Amino acid sequence: MMTVKSIAVLTSGGDSQGMNAAVRAVVRSALFYGLEVYAVQRGYYGLINDDIRKMDLRSVGDIIQRGGTILQTARCPEMKTLEGQQKAAENLRKRGIDGLVVIGGDGSYQGAYKLTQQGIKTMGLPGTIDNDIPFTDVTIGFDTAVSIVVDAINKLRDTMSSHERSSIVEVMGRHCGDIALYAGLASGAEAILVPEVKFDLQKVSCRMKENFMNGKKHSIIVVAEGVGKGENIAKELHDCCGIDSRVTVLGHIQRGGTPTHNDRILASRLGDFAIRKLLEGESGKGCGIIKGELVTTDIEKIVNSKKQINMDMYQLALRLSQ
């Protein structure tokens, strides 16, 4: 039974590869089911300031392969206030918009949860490279970000081997070390440092020094930014065992570029899924994928939970780095 006649879509927080594919899927799926579709520019900032425009099929043509977000994104402290939340909800109501699909990370889900409390039907899609949204195995953009890091490490290995040096690669992940873990495992890093697991840097440095003494020509350490700055890790390595390291901070390059086919497919599936669930009467849910199956979880439960690191994967990385 159709419970909505008009929906809006916005992207919020840090951009991630695949957001455009998700926007495309939301718009085209909604149009397929006969809904009116609107886009909100610049996330919650645009919602509060009524920067909303109608969408059609041509609005999302030729974007599935593009990184970033055509809807743009911006910070919006006002959305954290009751007044801002009420204004955002009113701007949707005055246009007759029944539902809102929010694509973003934890802060974006917080905003969607607040709008649900204002009576707006909402659906959240996990758009963040950090892979830090619980109740989904993977987020939109994570696969591409890991691929970018692995490609960078491959290039660094070439030059580190030529000069017989150690390289420290600092990647994104303030509270979640998944980019470091998966990229480190995929590229054969000698050490992976993540904020969720305590580590002994002296043991790491001594093992690296022993490897060099045994003929190893290079080493790679992948560090999630939540652990600390790569330069500080390099200094500690030098102080511990006299190892000189070169530091590479990949920064926002991890968010750019063409999304992988995995991210495009995931975004497309989740975008369509969100529309179908809104039409079925669901609201206040976050969409995700668990063991290949699309699922919904209460946004309230998502924002009050923390994603745990995959310790089996971490232990595998430890065993293979010896």
CA dihedral of 111, 116, 122, 126, whole degrees rounded to 10: 40
Rg (CA), the chain: 22
- The two structure tokens encoding residue 196: 């969720």
Known binder of ligand: residue 105? yes
Q: CA-CA distance, 132 to 30, in Å (whole number)?
A: 28
Q: CA-CA distance, 91 to 159, in Å (whole number)?
A: 55
How far, in whole angstroms, is CA 237 from its chain's centroid?
30
Known binder of ligand: residue 145? no
Known binder of ligand: residue 106? yes
- The two structure tokens encoding residue 180: 């470091």
**The tokens 């969720």 sit on which residue?**
196
Known binder of ligand: residue 58? no
Count CA within 13 A, CB hemisphere, residue 201: 21
Known binder of ligand: residue 101? no
Known binder of ligand: residue 95? no
Known binder of ligand: residue 107? yes
Hey, how many other C-beta atoms are within 10 angstroms of the C-beta on 207?
16
Known binder of ligand: residue 280? no
Known binder of ligand: residue 236? no
Q: Which residues are catalytic?
A: 130
Beta carbons within 8 Å of 148's beta carbon, 6+ residues apart: 250, 253, 254, 256, 257
Known binder of ligand: residue 255? yes
Amino acid at 292: G
**The tokens 């002994």 sit on which residue?**
200
Known binder of ligand: residue 216? yes
How far, in whole angstroms, is CA 65 from its chain's centroid?
17
- Is 133:301 a contact under the CB 8 Å cutoff? no
Known binder of ligand: residue 217? yes
Known binder of ligand: residue 173? yes
CA distances from 149 to 24, 68, 144, 309, 319 (A): 26, 17, 9, 19, 21
Known binder of ligand: residue 27? yes
Known binder of ligand: residue 93? no
Known binder of ligand: residue 189? yes
- Is 237:165 a contact under the CB 8 Å cutoff? no
Known binder of ligand: residue 276? no
Residue ranges for the known binding site for ATP are 14, 75-76, 105-108
Residue ranges for the known binding site are 14, 24-28, 75-76, 105-108, 128-130, 157, 165, 172-174, 188-190, 216-218, 225, 246, 252-255
Residue ranges for the known binding site for substrate are 128-130, 165, 172-174, 225, 246, 252-255
Residue ranges for the known binding site for ADP are 24-28, 157, 188-190, 216-218
Residue ranges for the known binding site for Mg(2+) are 106
